[in-house]
Amino acid sequence: MWYDSGPHTTRKDIQIMTDEKACCTPATKTACGPAASLILGLVGGVLASAALFFVGPNLPPPPPQTGAAMVAAESDAPARVLKGLAVMDLQQILANSKAGKALETQVDAAREDLRRQVEQEEKGLEGLEKKLAEARDAGEREQFMARRAEFEKKIAQARETVLKKKQGLDEALGRALDQLRQEVVRIAKEMGQERGYALVTTRQSVVIVAEDLDITADVLAVLDETLPSVKMEVK
């Protein structure tokens, strides 16, 4: 976090809290820096494939069912509906996939690099802060005003440098997550077409689901083969 500098700005006022926000990483759901704050926002939501309805020629309606035939049809209806549904745990896929773990490692490395850069910027301001204090204590108003202006300028430059670096990392992470998300959607869609699913949704959007409807393990296995890693590319 940057604080706007005022008449009594000190080096402490420009400290950046690189881990001020807690967010879930793809594999550990531990506290992480702002660079990983989009994991869940970009990968959340409902994944569904559209149901296809086929309309045939105008044929006379079938005769009404009665007796045992009607009872059998009604008892089979829930089973037919469930066969067209599937659920996957998107968070688990991100946590356990090879690509998700690789991305988490890159996020941690980028966060550490940003922390080191912040420390370097702070050290570069220590000398200016010392000179500013000396001029103030000596009562040299003109020199104090000049050094304060220089100090404020350096603070603004340091802030801009770090924020640009952070923005670049955020954008790179977003692109990597989007690539991972698109591959999961592609796999789910292909699996739905092969198995006849009318709807594939996420585990986070339902409260209770039968285990035989869960395709998380199947999607994860395919994802590890088709996309074993994903790279954060900072532009």
**Are the CB atoms for 98 and 221 separated by under 8 Å?**
no
Measured between alpha carbons, how far is 149 from 3 in angstroms, rounded to an integer?
16
pTM over 0.85: no
Q: What is the predicted pLDDT for the residue at 171?
A: 95
Q: Which residues of 132-157 are buried (b: 16+ CB within 10 A; e: fewer)?
A: beebbeeeeeeebeebbeebbebbee
**Are the CB atoms for 180 and 147 separated by under 8 Å?**
no
Measured between alpha carbons, how far is 167 from 126 in angstroms, rounded to an integer?
26
φ, ψ at 156 (rounded to 5°): -65, -40
* Intra-chain end-to-end CA distance of the chain, in Å: 23
Residues recorded for the chain: 235
Measured between alpha carbons, how far is 71 from 82 in angstroms, rounded to an integer?
18
Q: What is the predicted pLDDT for the residue at 82?
A: 67
**What one-character DSSP code corresponds to residue 32?**
-
**Are the CB atoms for 114 and 33 separated by under 8 Å?**
yes
Q: What is the predicted pLDDT for the residue at 194?
A: 94
Mean pLDDT by 10 residues, the chain (235 residues): 38 39 38 33 30 30 46 45 84 93 94 90 82 81 84 89 92 94 96 93 88 94 96 88
Instruction: Mention every residue, 6+ apart, whose C-beta is less than 8 A from residue 137.
Output: none
Instruction: Mention every residue, 6+ apart, whose C-beta is less than 8 A from residue 144.
Output: 132, 135, 136
* Short-list 222, 197, 190, 226, CA closest to 212: 197
Q: What is the predicted pLDDT for the residue at 213?
A: 93
**What one-character DSSP code corresponds to residue 199?**
E
Please report which residue ranges of the chain form alpha helices under DSSP H. Answer: 39-43, 67-83, 90-96, 98-137, 141-195, 216-226
Measured between alpha carbons, how far is 21 from 34 in angstroms, rounded to an integer?
6
Q: What is the predicted pLDDT for the residue at 192?
A: 94
